[in-house]
Each structure stands twice: as C-alpha cells, then as structure tokens.
Chain A
C-alpha cells in the first residue's frame, strides 16, 4: 500500500518569498493533517481537514499560512511571505476519520530552510 506522499523533500528560499508544499494522503483516508516540526521539538498541528472541510486551524498563522484540500484528496500548504522562523519540517499525515483515526500515517516531510 502506498504511503503518504509529499513534495518537494527539500526547499530553500529567502525570507519574504513564497513557498508551497503538496501532500497526497493514503487512498481512502478522509482525514488529513499538516504539522510543523521545528528542530528539537515535537510536531505541532497547523491544520486538520476532514474530506475538503477544515476541522481545526486554530494554530495556523493565517496572516501568512494557507492550506486547501479542494477535492478532498490532495492538499497544498502555502506560506506567503516566509519568515526565518518558518524554517522547519512540514509533515503531512492522514488517517481514517473519527475514532478509527487513532493511527496517523506520516509522510517523509518537506524540509524548509528560510535564509
């Protein structure tokens, strides 16, 4: 079974530039999550989708971050404009919905460096 796919694996940009990340969840997984993991920290939830609707985006810095999952499958996360403190690994995860979603499967992540 294919896992969660993310691209690109690495991205280096200068501050104030824009960047977008892409995620394709495991087939059949209605719930999709974006996490930010700063070096030395655990992953922090940015946004959670159930199909194409947002369930929780309380920790998403909405002045610069946006995410969408238009058709309820793939998702993109965008940062515009980027700041130095956005340097982190951006992890996408997917799960079955509700209580079945106790197990989340993570993609390999996109490592972002903002210079």
Chain B
C-alpha cells in the first residue's frame, strides 16, 4: 500500500466553485503534513502546512484527522489561477525529514 494516497482527478470546476481534495496516509508515526502546489512543468511549491486544529489561509482551508489518518484541502471561490496539481505531503521524523508525496490531484478551473 502506498504511504500517501490521493484521488488523481482531474477535477474540472467552474470559476467560483468550492472544491475539496482528500488524502490518506498509512504511517501513523507521521509527524508533519503539507499541501504543495505544482504547476504544469514547474517545481512543487509549499501551499500550506496542515495542523491538527485545522488552518485557513484566505480561500484555502486544510484539515487533519489523525485518528482516521486523513488530510483535506478545501478551496473556496475557485480562480482560474488555482488550476494546478495539488500534492498531499507527509513527513516522518524517522525518515530524516524527507517528504513523502502523493501522486497529486489535478484541478482545472474553467471560465
């Protein structure tokens, strides 16, 4: 079983829509959680960290459920510029702090 699993999509949504991505991880020793964004043919960039209490950054809300080993990302009022691949990322301290990436979920926001 892959350590980090995501629905690859693609998710095609109209501008202004709300879209949610889900991710599950298999290692209960996981310590840190992130969402990275990757534009086509570009490098991944940190979108936001994910905290147990849930956290929000503008139109983006991330949530973590440690009991279910589940992470989510909610995007409200989608913009055309949100079109990208969203990578769910998990870090375990026993792996030297390297990141375990999911395959990514592709989002296309249409006019």
B98 touching A106, Cβ below 8 Å: no
- Asked whether B43 lies within 8 Å of A107 as measured between CB atoms, the reply is yes
B103 touches A48 (CB 8 A): no
Docked complex Cα distance between A40 and B8 (Å): 9
Task: Say which one of A11-19, A61-69, A72-80, A97-105 lies at the interface with B.
Answer: A97-105
Inter-chain contact B98/A45, CB cutoff 8 Å: yes
Contacts of A41 in B (CB 8 A): 103-104
Pick from A91, A97, A106, A108 the residue with the most CB of B within 10 Å.
Answer: A106
* Alpha-carbon distance between A104 and B91 when the two chains are bound, in angstroms: 11
What residues on A are CB-neighbors of B97 within 8 Å?
Answer: 31, 48, 95, 97-99, 101-102
- State whether A43 and B101 are in contact (beta carbons under 8 Å apart), knowing that A55-B96, A56-B95, A102-B91 are contacts in the complex: yes
Q: Which A residues are in CB contact (< 8 Å) with B80?
A: none
Cβ B103 vs Cβ A40 within 8 A: yes
Alpha-carbon distance between A33 and B28 when the two chains are bound, in angstroms:
24
Most chain B CB within a 10 A radius of its CB, from A40, A48, A95, A102: A102
Q: Which of B45, B49, B99, B103 contacts A45 (CB 8 A)?
A: B99
B34 contacts which chain A residues (CB < 8 A)?
102
Q: How far is the CA of A41 from the CA of B102 in the complex (A)?
A: 8
| Chain B residues, Cβ within 8 Å of A101 | 97
Let me know if A48 and B101 touch, CB within 8 A. Answer: no
Interface positions of B (Cβ within 8 A of A)? 4, 8, 32, 34, 42-46, 49, 87, 91, 95-104
